[in-house]
Amino acid sequence: MILVSRFKGAVLNDQGVPGDTVTKVYQRIADIKATNGKVYLVNIGINDIRYGMTTDVEYIAMIENIWNELKNIGDVYFISIWPTFSPDAVMDSTIANPLIDARNEALRKFCFDRNISFINATQTIRNYINTTELVAKYVPDGVHPSADGKPLYADAVQGLSLGLGSKIPYDTVSVYDSFDRADLGSLGNADTGQAWEVLSGTWGISANKAFKPSNGLDAYNVAVQAGLSNCSISAILGGSDLARARLAFRVTDQHNFLYVLANTDGTYKLYKVEGDALEVLGTANVMPVLDDEVEIILYNENIMLRVNGEFILSVTNTFNQNAVKHGLMSTTASGGTWDNFKILI
């Protein structure tokens, strides 16, 4: 449920049953197929190992049966078997984890050989929950994650640095601008006092919103504030042409930066601009709407996109990773507006 809640519009049909084994899942495959899911996340196997229910060969045979039943209905992703931690009332973790590793390798090879998506989250979890105190907090019985642990497992499946998906570590306002001031032919100073730096284009304020009143000479028009390389950048996007209202981040100049676009094709897209050359980094099939609050969260190579508080996209990219300037961006055409711009650190 935690993982699904991060994706706007996603609906969960939980087919998991306490004490499940791979054989029991396959026995219920008709009910699972009847959900007609677009995406199937299959995470099964820890009980097979803890209770000695299947060998590696038998386990993979059942996995193949499950895949053959689901592959023509929706996208199938196999998730690695979770690790165990002491204490575990059934099998000590020093015995269970080598068996889990061997079975995960068999699962990885099965997926690799058939070009099936495989998500290896196990080692990420182990690397994070690596002390007695953390085990007690996140996996107190050695097997089942606690309420605090479940978001970490969701992070591991998403490929995020653990702790980021459920609680963004930025809560201090560094820059805030409501743009609630008299109409200007410039952006002036933010409510928190910092002057806007215009890298390209002409910018102004109209009806208590930032806008770009005229076409610029550069392919991209950019105005920025200074923050940190790891921070959160957000604004409310609107205007007569929503696709012109974009957020730029990790900016070095008007020719090198990253940005998010509310696209006219009904998607949100993340782009890299390097020497004016464009590259799409990721796409979320979420329909942009006027006055969406769009937020970019940066943590090292992790770039996350939230719209109206809901997680919709995550990518990793190291381009301009140390750049600290973020702000507003548009093309030579006008039509977008920006409101309530904010940088949290």
Q: What is the pLDDT of residue 213?
A: 80
For the stretch 45-93, pLDDT in tens is: 999 999 999 999 999 999 999 999 999 999 999 999 999 998 788 999 9
- Give Rg (Cα) of the chain: 24
pLDDT at 151 over 60: yes
Judged against a pLDDT cut of 70, whether residue 183 lies above it is answered with yes
CATH architecture label of 173-344:
Sandwich (2.60)
Q: What is the pLDDT of residues 25-50, one digit of tens each?
A: 999 999 999 999 999 999 999 999 99
| 2-158 and 173-344 in the same fold | no
Q: What local confidence, expressed as pLDDT, does residue 221 receive?
A: 93
The pTM is what?
Answer: 0.62
E-strand ranges in the chain read 39-42, 75-79, 117-119, 173-177, 197-198, 202-206, 209-214, 221-226, 232-239, 246-253, 256-262, 268-274, 277-284, 292-299, 302-307, 310-316, 325-330, 336-344
Residue 1 has pLDDT above 70, yes or no: no
Q: HSE (CB half, 13 Å, CA atoms) of 294?
A: 33
pLDDT-wise least confident of 44-58, 145-159, 205-219, 239-253 = 205-219
Mean pLDDT over each residue of the chain, to the nearest integer: 92
Q: Is there a cis peptide before residue 87, judged by omega within 30 degrees of 0?
A: yes
Beta bridge partners of 342: 176, 234
CB contact at 8 A, 170 and 116: no
8 confidence band (pLDDT: 50, 70, 90): low
Q: Which of 79-93, 164-178, 222-236 has the lowest mean pLDDT?
A: 164-178
Topology (CATH) of 2-158? Rossmann fold (3.40.50)
Q: What is the DSSP letter of 290?
A: T
Sequence ranges of the domains in the chain: 2-158, 173-344
The identity of residue 77, as a single letter, is Y
Check: CB of residue 233 under 8 Å from CB of residue 227: yes
Asked whether 117 and 78 are in contact (CB, 8 A), the reply is yes
